[in-house]
Amino acid sequence: MPTDQPFEPDQLDQEAHARQILDDRASAEKLAAGGDARGPQGIERAVRDILMEIGEDPEREGLVRTPERMHRMWIELTCGYHVDPDRLINGAVFDVGYSEMVVIKGIPFYSLCEHHMLPFFGTASVGYLPRGRVIGLSKIPRVVEMYARRLQVQERLTQQIADFLQGRLNPYGVGVVIEAQHLCLAMRGVQKGGATMVTSSVLGTFRTTKGTRDEFMAHLDRATPRV
């Protein structure tokens, strides 16, 4: 039987995950502090300049700590650049005699569009056909988050997730589908809120074998049972 399971946040070890994000953020801050242009002073000075450029007063009560907050926020939202993939996997790849499709769908993510630095967000669904090796359930959402916490375009994000799993597991194939809404489309420009972008990346048998690809897509179309 294929393993077709929606991702639920409480399936993660939340405490360990939080510790990892904080550690990654601390590493990012240490790197950023290496030079004035990239350190806290540089980020905060840039935010102050932006506030003045748009006609605001950086010294008024509501804004006086905004540059500091923005610095901390940017470190958190882009900590994916500093995640160690080996530490993320942490040995959770197992030799298992299982060769049917594994699908995890509905993984929520938040990322930043590199063109306007506005958020895009949605869900990722990931499937793979094991070649005798499987990865721990919580690791796939963490892989999604590692790449989402960077300046991104949705097409690249989709491809990076697929390439990572293909390289680490050497499965027969991998499929990734991402559905997301982009605030750069909703808040500015054509201002078309509610539009959803769908991207996919299929590798190995997911690309070469129609039956495998159709099975993956059929899992995504099935309603998720609620327990």
Name the catalytic one among 76, 116, 179, 181.
116
Name the catalytic one among 71, 82, 182, 219.
182
Give catalytic status of residue 115 as yes or no: yes
Give catalytic status of residue 116 as yes or no: yes
Q: b/e string for 82-115 if b means 16 or more Cβ within 10 A?
A: bbeeeebbeeeeeeeeeeebbbbbebebebbbee
Ramachandran class of 196: left when φ > 0, alpha when ψ lies in -120 to 50, beta otherwise: beta
DSSP 90: T
Report d(CA 162, CA 201) in Å as an integer: 7
The letter for the amino acid at 190 is: V
The letter for the amino acid at 122 is: G
Give catalytic status of residue 182 as yes or no: yes
Name the catalytic one among 113, 152, 160, 166.
113
Which two structure tokens, joined as six digits, stand for 2? 């294929």
Which two structure tokens, joined as six digits, stand for 184? 């750069």
Report d(CA 135, CA 169) in Å as an integer: 8
Give catalytic status of residue 114 as yes or no: yes
Pick from 120, 126, 128: which is nearest to 148 by CA? 120
Name the catalytic one among 8, 68, 115, 155.
115
Name the catalytic one among 20, 44, 145, 154.
154
Residues designated catalytic: 113-116, 154, 182, 184
